[in-house]
Structure 1
């Protein structure tokens, strides 16, 4: 087809979503991706993006803004020109994406920045739903040693994921047509951001670990959440009670 869209099973679209996006792409040849302002149903937070051509300026400026402003990777769910998505290539396989490859939804928009403009329609036509998947709701044991092992393994895994993500970002930058000094500047920015994210991740897991180990109410809440949101854990816990 002429256009491509990645559709997540847990999101919602208004009936006119696709027709509105098609209209934008048909009328704006420089636009490679069309999306809309949206609402985020996650606790009570709303998240909105400015309408019209988004990320204006040179490619260098757009890439820098993407990196430094921590833009939401939600744009991957917009309508994209099929020839463009074929040209840049899907960076990972669909099977890996379904397994939740770290930050895979941010790589596509970053690649598209080098191919054209983004356009945001000034209508709420897309309703994003977040799957609850925070680390601490998947705890399967209340033993301190098991908890410590769980946190350490997840921190190491996340560190590797973060490094792999930024390595792919740097690869995209070096493959672009930017000038050499612009490429090296953006690469330096990614190194700083990678280190910053490492520190933030370590801090988050350390605080979560302390709260889980020393705060009974927090630990109880996490376990109850695990039962509520994790079918596998709920089933195992049910079997354990049955045999007691």
Structure 2
């Protein structure tokens, strides 16, 4: 009967509480350049029921894994003194290797977008893909193991900057009706109870366009992200 209990459980509820909002944030818009094609589910912008369907499908798929085990090399000294100090603290505490895959040198101090606290030292590959993980069980993949119990969580180190994709977060806010990165704006403290309808693509394209018009000095890379949002 274990299989029946699993199928009756809300797939979002299987994640640790601290990961549920980020899973929603990841899946409410498409995952980077990957287009998730699931019959009956929107590929770009998804309703709450779409996300639950996507979770049921994606949890059976492995997360991205690098095709090479090349350890690379240690990063050059950071120009930003606070980041250099943060890197040194993490290396002193955990060593220089990636704390997710353990195969490559760590180059990035990864942080939690909600708390602003550092989670650990990651290689560039793991840093790129870790937040796209939709596995709830730590035994399923290294990313889930890392996210469920971030190694540096107990150190309470605050990250010195933010790397939010602001245009996409503006679109997410329009879809959900609140800011998923701000718990004060949540409709309830239980993300499994959040519900929202399927969004209107034309309206979201206008939201993204308005955001970019207010930020004329955005980099060319972020302008490319704008085109991805509006496709």
TM beyond 0.5: no
TM-score, normalising length from structure 2?
0.29
- What is the TM-score with the length of structure 1 in the denominator? 0.28
- Higher RCO by CA contacts (8 Å cutoff, separation 6 or greater): 1
Bigger radius of gyration among the two: 1
